[in-house]
Amino acid sequence: VFFHSEDQFVGWLRRRWPERAAGLSLGIGDDAAIIRPRRGHDLVLTTDLSIETVHFRLDLHPPQAIGHRALARSLSDLAAMGAKPRYALLSLAFPRAAKRSWITAFYDGMDQLAARFGLTLIGGDTAVTGEAPVTADVIAVGEIKRGQALRRQGAKPGDLIYVTGRLGMAALGLSLLKAGSPERKAGAMPGSQNIARAALAAHLYPEPRCAVGQYLAKYRLASAAIDVSDGFARDLGRLCESSRCGARIWQDRLTPVVLIAGGAPRYDSLCIGLRSDSLHPLDLALHGGEDYELLFTVPRSKAARVPRSIAGIKLHRIGEITAERRLRLRAPDNQELALEPQGYDHFQERN
């Protein structure tokens, strides 16, 4: 037994998270937490499960990364609404055989991300199981000025479509991780190791785009927004479904956004190192999942006010909203193809 009792465990958590946050009246260790919302602000609440074998594997993912990713999932939802992260609660179930060092590293990963975003852990629940998978449920509470929150609905035909960062990097990182010793296998071609490192980091330690979401909300630039968690095409489809519209993505504008931006030859050598031909960059970008980038729409009248980057994160204009309720990919030769969601869906068999 690595902690003697639940009370001892809660005491350990309390020492990690003293009650120091503004607006927090009562944190860990009582029946519930108490927060004092700021006047004129709405609260944004989201919760995300991270389950062993479904969302991560103990043999592939270091505990720090598991903790980081569990929180990043929720923070990315707050980012998509434009909310500033404030508080989190964590429900954690782990088997009795879990090691204290694993638990500590898990919390380290979560805490380091939380600290960077000014977020305080204020409560949660813990269960020790026999052999059930490690399960974390992270509840994040964000704050935003009344009425400023971004939603999936609100995009209008003619609005321009933007995405942050690079699509497909996280999916490439996962493939590298599964292939094992990725940096060694990445081949001798100069530069491919850098791509491999960046892809692994994108998968293991994704960075929620909170600063971008908050900027878009504050300056009322975006007509709709969503985070790209289940694959670009699927999440674009959700934004369009909520907004009752369709979208046209310009492939030539998307190309610089996908992971091959570092150089196609280097990428090819990486894939040769992986002995895989299933990693077409465009496929990874459109369907890869777990990018935790932001996808948002901007009315054309506001397009001139959209900066090229926010807090160091590049914004790419990649398409436009259409009245016709379909997703289309326009190839460089102006042919248009249907863009079908192929990202991960819990209710369908895994690929």
Q: Identify which of residues 253 and 326 has a Cβ nearer to its own copies in the complex.
A: 326
Q: CA 171 to CA 289: how far, in whole Å?
A: 6
37 binds its own copies (CB under 8 A): yes
Q: Encode 62-80: b = buried (16+ Cβ within 10 Å), e = exposed.
A: bbbbbbbbbbbbbbbbbbb
The Cα–Cα gap between 183 and 123 comes to 39
- Distance (Å, rounded) from C-alpha 63 to C-alpha 114? 16
- The CA-atom distances, in angstroms, between 299 and each of 82, 125, 155, 238, 302 are 17, 43, 8, 19, 6
Under the binding rule (CB under 8 A), the answer on residue 93 touching its own copies is yes
Minimal distance, residue 230 CB to its own copies, in Å: 8
Tell me which of 46, 193, 269, 297 binds its own copies, using CB under 8 A.
46
Closest CA to 341 of 258, 266, 249: 249
From the CB of 80, what's the least distance to its own copies, in Å? 4
- Residue 229 and residue 163 in contact, taking contact as beta carbons nearer than 8 Å: no
Q: Which of 328, 336, 318 has its CA nearest to residue 255?
A: 318
Q: Which residues inside 223-282 make contact with its own copies, applying CB under 8 A?
A: 226-227, 230, 238, 241-242
Residues 132-161 that bind its own copies (CB under 8 A): 132-133, 135, 137, 139-142, 144, 146, 149, 151-153
Residue 53's alpha-carbon distances to 58, 135, 201, in angstroms, are 8, 10, 20
The whole-angstrom separation of Cα 44 and Cα 110 is 20
Supply the minimum distance, in Å, between the C-beta of residue 125 and its own copies: 5
Stretch that binds its own copies, among 56-64, 89-97, 178-186, 265-273 (CB under 8 A): 89-97
Restricted to residues 95-134, the positions that interact with its own copies (CB under 8 A) are: 122-130, 132-133
Q: Does 49 bind its own copies (CB under 8 A)?
A: yes
The residue from 13, 17, 28, 35 that contacts its own copies (CB under 8 A) is: 35
204 sits near its own copies (criterion: CB under 8 A)? no
Candidate residues 65, 71, 78, 113; the one interacting with its own copies per rule CB under 8 A: 78
CB of 63 to its own copies, least distance (A): 19
- Candidate list 13, 28, 48, 182; residue touching its own copies; CB under 8 A: 48
Tell whether residue 30 is a contact of its own copies (CB under 8 A).
yes
